[in-house]
Amino acid sequence: MTAREPLRAPCSSYSWVTRWDGWDGALTVRQLPATPPASQRLAPSAGYSSRTRDSATWPARGPRAGSPIRGRCGRAGHGGGLLLNGRAPGLRRLFGRLAAMFYAGSGLLGLALLPLPTPGADGAAVAAVYATAVIIGITLWLAPWERWPRPASLAIVPPAFALIALRNVYGGQDLQLYGVFFVVAFVWIGMAHPQRTSAAMVPLAAAAYILPLSALPGGIEAGLPSAALTIPVCLLVGEGLAWGMSRLEGIELALRRERDRTEHLRELDEMKDRFLSAVSHELLTPITICRGHLEVLDETAGDQDLRDIRGMLVEELDIMGRVVEDLTTLARADDAAFLKVESLPLDRFMTCVAAKAGTILPGRVLVQPAAPGETLRADPQRLAQALVNLLQNAARHARGQEPVRLGVQAEPASWRFEVADEGGGLPPGDEQAMFEPFSTGGSRDSGTGLGLWIVRGIARAHGGECGVVNRPGRGATFWIRIPR
Partner 1 sequence: MKLLVVEDEARVASFLDKGLRANGYDVEWARSGQEALHRAAQPDISLVILDLGLPDLDGLDVLEGLRAGGSPVPVLVLSARGSMHDRVRGLDLGADDYLGKPFAFQELLARVRANLRPRADAGPSCCAPAASAWICCAAK
- Provide the binding-site residues for partner 1, judged by CB under 8 A: 52-57, 61-62, 277, 280-281, 284-285, 287-289, 291-293, 295-296, 298, 312, 316, 442-444
**Nearest residue to 161 via CA among 197, 202, 196, 121:** 202
Nearer to partner 1 by Cβ, of 61 and 72: the residue is: 61
Nearer to partner 1 by Cβ, of 322 and 471: the residue is: 322
In the complex, least distance from residue 322 CB atom to partner 1, rounded to whole angstroms: 16
Asked if 113 and 127 touch (Cβ cutoff 8 Å), the reply is: no
Return d(Cα 94, Cα 146) in angstroms, integer. 9
Return d(Cα 438, Cα 10) in angstroms, integer. 41
In the complex, least distance from residue 323 CB atom to partner 1, rounded to whole angstroms: 14
- Evaluated on CA atoms 394, 395, 401, 407, the torsion sign reads positive
In the complex, least distance from residue 44 CB atom to partner 1, rounded to whole angstroms: 16
In the complex, least distance from residue 295 CB atom to partner 1, rounded to whole angstroms: 4
Return d(Cα 76, Cα 86) in angstroms, integer. 16
Task: Please calculate the CA angle 53-386-478 and round it to the nearest 5 degrees.
Answer: 75
Return d(Cα 342, Cα 335) in angstroms, integer. 17
Asked if 75 and 32 touch (Cβ cutoff 8 Å), the reply is: yes
Nearer to partner 1 by Cβ, of 176 and 300: the residue is: 300
In the complex, least distance from residue 439 CB atom to partner 1, rounded to whole angstroms: 14
In the complex, least distance from residue 56 CB atom to partner 1, rounded to whole angstroms: 5
In the complex, least distance from residue 453 CB atom to partner 1, rounded to whole angstroms: 19
Return d(Cα 253, Cα 3) in angstroms, integer. 15
Return d(Cα 27, Cα 9) in angstroms, integer. 19
Nearer to partner 1 by Cβ, of 109 and 301: the residue is: 301
In the complex, least distance from residue 442 CB atom to partner 1, rounded to whole angstroms: 5
Return d(Cα 30, Cα 420) in angstroms, integer. 40
Asked if 426 and 364 touch (Cβ cutoff 8 Å), the reply is: no
In the complex, least distance from residue 63 CB atom to partner 1, rounded to whole angstroms: 8
Asked if 446 and 58 touch (Cβ cutoff 8 Å), the reply is: no
Q: Whats the size of the chain, residue-wise?
A: 484
Nearer to partner 1 by Cβ, of 106 and 440: the residue is: 440
Nearer to partner 1 by Cβ, of 285 and 329: the residue is: 285
Quick one: three-class SS letters along 353-399?
HHHHHHHHCCCCEEECCCCCCCEEEECHHHHHHHHHHHHHHHHHHCC
What is the layout of strands, in order, in the sheet containing 365-367?
365-367, 404-410, 414-421, 475-483, 465-471
Alpha helices (H) along 116-177? 123-142, 157-170
Nearer to partner 1 by Cβ, of 294 and 355: the residue is: 294
**Nearest residue to 417 via CA among 363, 376, 362:** 376
In the complex, least distance from residue 291 CB atom to partner 1, rounded to whole angstroms: 5
Return d(Cα 93, Cα 142) in angstroms, integer. 10
In the complex, least distance from residue 315 CB atom to partner 1, rounded to whole angstroms: 9
Nearer to partner 1 by Cβ, of 207 and 287: the residue is: 287
- DSSP letter for 9, please: G
Nearer to partner 1 by Cβ, of 60 and 83: the residue is: 60
Q: Which amino acid is at 365?
A: V
In the complex, least distance from residue 280 CB atom to partner 1, rounded to whole angstroms: 8
Nearer to partner 1 by Cβ, of 65 and 371: the residue is: 65
Phi, psi angles (nearest 5°) of residue 466: -145, 165
DSSP symbols for 425-477: ---TT-TTGGGSTT--TTSGGG-SS-HHHHHHHHHHHTT-EEEEEEETTTEEE
Nearer to partner 1 by Cβ, of 245 and 283: the residue is: 283
Nearer to partner 1 by Cβ, of 316 and 379: the residue is: 316
